[in-house]
Amino acid sequence: MKIGVVGCAGRMGQMLVREIAATAGCTLAGGTERVGGPALGKDLGVLAGLDPLGVTAIDDPVALFAEADAVIDFTSPESTERHAALAAQSETVLVVGTTGLNPSQQAAIATAATHTAIVQSPNMSLGVNLLLALVEQVAHTLGDDFDIDILEMHHRRKVDAPSGTALGLGHAAAAGRGVKLEDVWQKVRDGHTGARPRGEIGFATLRGGDVIGDHTVMFAGEGERIELTHKASGRQIYAKGAVRAALWAQDKTPGLYSMRDVLGL
């Protein structure tokens, strides 16, 4: 399977290049960078700290989608929306790890998924997707007798809050309770807030240092508390999951899939 990477010179893009190069059953189709970027024309292997791979960074995503069987996207919401349209036109598998998308951008991805297979997840790691399944199960079992709060911490450079993974965990908890997260979430608490409403799902966001990603879901009841936690110690787990998703999707019909589909959860 020929897999391309958009944003190939970034930190995540370099990890994806290394993972594709090391994974049996796939080859690197190419990679793109922004117009005028310093990485243009450079070998993707060299950019990723490997021996040369014979593929250079380009600034034309149309050409990349035409060449690749699948493209992996960990860029920005605006770029991902454009890439989804290209994937639909070329019927190329798209793996989306971008977070922070607004409803319009998410709708564009859903529309593109009527033409090609798209795997989208707020977090590509095996552990986090197991956590999503567990959170839904625990929320269903405990009901709203237990308060739910989601605590997350990331490095100081992260631009969206709460994180996409935290919101994914919130959606899993809400699904377990049979409600929509948007109807019960509380993203910020400040000042005189009054008593906590029954059924509310709260979020707390921390930013600092070089933390890759820590997430804890707390179920607090009378006299006891359950905490489910995942801590990422390296970003390579996201690259491994994304490449696995691309390989899984290569023979799938058009549709919007998740990592839970990929992992059979």
- Using DSSP's 3-state secondary structure scheme, residue 28 falls into strand
Is 1 marked as a binding-site residue?
A: no
Q: Which among 147, 159, 11, 182 has a CA at the least distance from the CA of 99?
A: 159
Is 192 marked as a binding-site residue?
A: no
Write down the catalytic residue from 2, 115, 158, 252: 158
In the block, which residue shows the tokens 């491994």?
Answer: 240
Dist. CA 28–CA 135, nearest whole Å: 36
- Strands in 201-207's sheet, in edge-to-edge order, are 185-186, 201-207, 147-154, 213-221, 224-232
Q: Is 158 a catalytic residue?
A: yes
Is 11 marked as a binding-site residue?
A: yes
Is 153 marked as a binding-site residue?
A: no
Q: Is 42 a catalytic residue?
A: no
Phi and psi at 96, nearest 5°, equal -115, 115
Question: Are the beta carbons of 167 and 106 closer than 8 angstroms?
Answer: no
Write down the catalytic residue from 154, 171, 215, 240: 154
Is 223 marked as a binding-site residue?
A: no
Is 51 marked as a binding-site residue?
A: yes
Is 10 marked as a binding-site residue?
A: yes
Is 129 marked as a binding-site residue?
A: no
Annotated binding site for NAD(+): which residue ranges?
A: 7-12, 51, 97-99, 121-124
Annotated binding site: which residue ranges?
A: 7-12, 51, 97-99, 121-124, 155, 164-165
Annotated binding site for (S)-2,3,4,5-tetrahydrodipicolinate: which residue ranges?
A: 155, 164-165
Positions marked catalytic: 154, 158
